[in-house]
Structure 1
Amino acid sequence: SLLDLPDELLVRIFDFVAQRLSIADEEDGGSYPRLVTGYMLVCQRIYTLCRYRLFRDVDLPEDPEQMTAALARIVFRPDIAQQITRLAFHTTKNNPLEHSMLSLSPNVTELDLRAPALYPALSKSLTSLKHLHTLAIALPDGEYEGLDFIHYIDLQLDAPMVRHLTIELPGSGGHETLGLIVTGAERLETLEMRLEGQVDLDEATPWLSLRSLTIRGQSGITDVNEFVDSLEEACRSAKSDEQGPSTLPQRHLALDLPIAVSGASNREFDESNAIKLFELLGDEALGKLEELDLRFFYNPLRSLEGRVPSVRVLRLHNISLERNPYAGEDRNTLYRFLTIFTNLKRLELDPQNTGPCWPAAVGSSLLCAIRHPEFFALLHVLQSTTKITEVRLRPFRTKIELRWTREEGGQEWQCERYKFDEV
């Protein structure tokens, strides 16, 4: 019988159940509700042991009826609401139970919110979350007709402890600047903007306090040139007040923008956008960077040589070791690109496919050389020409990570495998 097991083993079993439900939810596109209240009602003993674990991370279902039922269950049990530390709900309705739930959940530290509009009742509810330090706001596109967008969230008044903010901006609907969504962002340390259209960074961008800046372009961005031009114009006015990107004290920068195509027939890629974004930062800000995330790698970025001496971690997404005439990338281009970062210690690679050049399992150096000669050649070049001591590879569409490490100045690489949730 399950109840014959010791307490420690029961806790581990229910930790595993919660983890598997979380993974299933992601694989099913969020359709599987992670609010597993049924498991808590098995018996008083299991409830006492596991309630603090299963309700730390709550993602409410998107279906309005299921969400209302889940909200009612939480509101009916305030002791459950007090255990929640991360809460996510995605709704297009102004459900009054949402505000009741937020007022009963004072220990929430991370809030992931998707709503068609920002309304005063929501801001008032945020004031009850005294420990909230991470806030994500997504404003879905195509749901704005007839809605009022005048209200915004004042972080200083509504959520003064928030230091990490993620904003997903639509391609239409009036939300074109950060200042139309939040104000009082002077204390932010990390800012991530997920853009689906032409969006400007305005005076609300807290350049002087940011430690981490992430700009991600979604598939809806069709003209990256216009976005970069608008960003340049917004930053130029900020620089005139010496409060622009060049004064950033940041340590982490992620630029994940689609590569612009200058011609549909010849498929020539315009790489000047990435260069322009770096130029906006200036040498002072670039010299402070410790972590850098990029989509693809660019040969023209050799102009950064000598300007990024502090970068220790480099992450490259959607890359390939095979010849790509469209993006102008191959192994030799990558080798030249890595020479820019003279003090790099860790390289993280996110492949764009499951090609034969990428290992998918732990193996010896000999096995890697036989089965994946391109990747083995990369390790050899890194060992002989760089200071990199760790290479992390996340195989395409898997939940594992392979890590190759070596001693400082060593020649032998050792490989280990990690689960995605352990990374």
Structure 2
Amino acid sequence: MAPSPTPLRAVVIGGGIGGLTAAVALHQSGWQVTVLERAHSLAPVGAAISLAPNSLRALDVVGLGDDIRALAAWQGDGGLRTPGGRWLSRTSATAAAERFGGPLVLLHRATLVEALAARLPEGCVRTSAAATLADPGDADRPARVTTPGGGWEADLVVAADGVNSAVRRTLFPDHPGPEYAGFTTWRVVVPVPGVPFASHETWGRGRIWGTHPLKDGRVYAYAAAVTPAGQHARDDEKAELVRLFGDWHAPIPAVLAAARPEDVLRHDVHHIAEPLPAYHRGRVALVGDAAHAMAPTLGQGGNQAVEDAVVLALTLPGSAGTGGSLVVADLAAYTAARLPRTTAIARQAVKVARLNMMRNRVGRATRDAVIAALSKAGPALFLRGFDGIADWRPPGPPYASERTPAGKQ
């Protein structure tokens, strides 16, 4: 009897959403996977994530789509408002689900991370393991990754180490890397009992605020403002939010009142303005923010990381379990599949940021008038902005979202 082929080894650097999705997808394809996370645990920073139909279909590939739909809040009708509370536009959850083949959902990042990690074998994830790419390898030799506790040779390294990716700098030392997008963000997840509201995003002068309900009864709120890089509140970030948004429409004051200073997270936004020449080199593939960090104005950063991870695994279907070396051409196919799409979405996110963070009074008045006029023509006009994004489908058979009636939970 011939011996069973030795499974190929993949080392994933980074235990966030993109890295864990890649680990799950590769494990299900027969790879032996190790995830190296520098933090002491997989618990992500306390904020929520919205998943659009495109990433939910990618999660369907690894059998997690329906689980996430069940755990998440399906976003209902909402819209865009002015700081005084006037509705500029209304959005229809049913129309969006019908157009894109499924709902937009919202859940805490920790919930998604836990669901992904549960699909991996025990001992697969190693925390407190700061990893360094020592050698990207090539078609004739494996890649090498080192940590303070030891090293690994790998047929594939997946770099999911974020916007400040050290692996990206190693692979592309001449690339300028991420740059400041011109604004900072705040996020908070808190219970706000007895305060009814509709999901909304509100655009002001160089500032935006969004409020959305989570399935567990808590509220996810986010804010952004144009400000120089590296600044912080003179007292605490809650007080800064009160100064910037405390006189905006309900339920914003109630959310602020419910939040403690320690509940508020603040991060400057950095993005990769100049696309990388490729998302791979040697036996190393970049996924998520390491490859294409983008402004959050389309809500697609995490969604594209999930897409990357699943497409990477689908690009290598015949490699795992063959006992042969990884064909570097497979990673070239991954770049070809992902770089044009993510570059276009990142550029669109920049355009949206310029629109919703506008400071000029005349420009804002014109913008609001145009939005209100388009809204009267029907929600489909606004949904067109997500054509080619939310309707993306991975290669393969129909997935759960295509079998689930639109708008039904």
TM bin (shorter chain): under 0.3
Query: TM (normalized to structure 2)?
Result: 0.22
**Higher Rg of the two aligned structures:** 1
Query: TM (normalized to structure 1)?
Result: 0.22
